[in-house]
Structure 1
């Protein structure tokens, strides 16, 4: 089962590692788009969210305080979800549907990150194929 969990971590982390690269390398363009959507923070906000996603993704991938990494991912996704995918603000039906799909996808990713946090925190050293034991232990 360790290998299945490792594959799941790789696939989950990959989304955020690739996104982090885009946030850092295309920060100016993404900041203009974020500002147009009403998100605060401008270029700093884009880079900060990219750093949270990248650091969290690496932590989950490598199993270095993976639970904390999952929480960093959730922390980055929450404001992004509500500012960037505010489907309730859209008047065009097609734009509204596209934003609602992205909003729902992000809700699922937040839920996955929280479930991953709980798995790291409860399973602890029995997790397998991790570099460190969890920083936060429950149960």
Structure 2
């Protein structure tokens, strides 16, 4: 069971760690796009979201307060869905569909991260194959 959970943690964070690298190495270019979407303080938003993904992803991956790491990913995902994938403002049907898919992907991943938070907090120190157990305890 511990190995399956570890494999799941690895697979879950691949997207976030890869995205974090892009956010932190291509901040200026990504800030230009974020600014075009109306995101306030776009450079700070891109850099900050890169840090959220990096720290949250590593916490889940390594099992260092993985419940907190999962919450950090939710904090990244929900605003990103709402600010960056505004399908309701698109006029072009293809652009609208692409934005809707990205919006739903972010919300789905936020739901999965919330489930991971609950799982980690419920399992507690029995998580196994982790550096430090969860910070929260949910019975």
Taking structure 2 as the reference length, what is the TM-score of the superposition?
Answer: 0.98
Is there any run of 5+ residues in structure 2 with no aligned partner, and where?
Answer: none
- Provide the C-alpha distance between the structure 2 equivalents of 1:123 and 1:37, rounded to a whole number of angstroms: 40
Partner of 2:114: 114
Q: Does 2:128 correspond to 1:128?
A: yes
Query: For structure 1, which runs of at least 5 residues remain unmatched after alignment?
Result: none
Separation (CA, whole Å) in 1 of partners of 2:40 and 2:111: 24
Distance 2:19 2:50 in 1: 7
Distance in 2, matches of 1:39 and 1:81, equals: 12
SS at match of 1:39: coil
**Corresponding residue for 1:77?**
77
After superposing on structure 2, the runs of 4+ consecutive aligned residues of structure 1 that deviate more than 6 Å are: none
> Aligned partners of 2:125 and 2:24: how far apart in 1?
33
What per-residue deviation string (whole Å, max 9, x for no partner) do you get for residues 105-138 of structure 1? 1111000100000000001011111111111111
CA separation in 2, counterparts of 1:58 and 1:14?
10
- Structure 1 residues 1-139: aligned runs within 5 Å: 1-139=1-139
The TM-score normalised by the length of structure 1 is 0.98
Cα distance in 1 for residues equivalent to 2:75 and 2:41 = 15
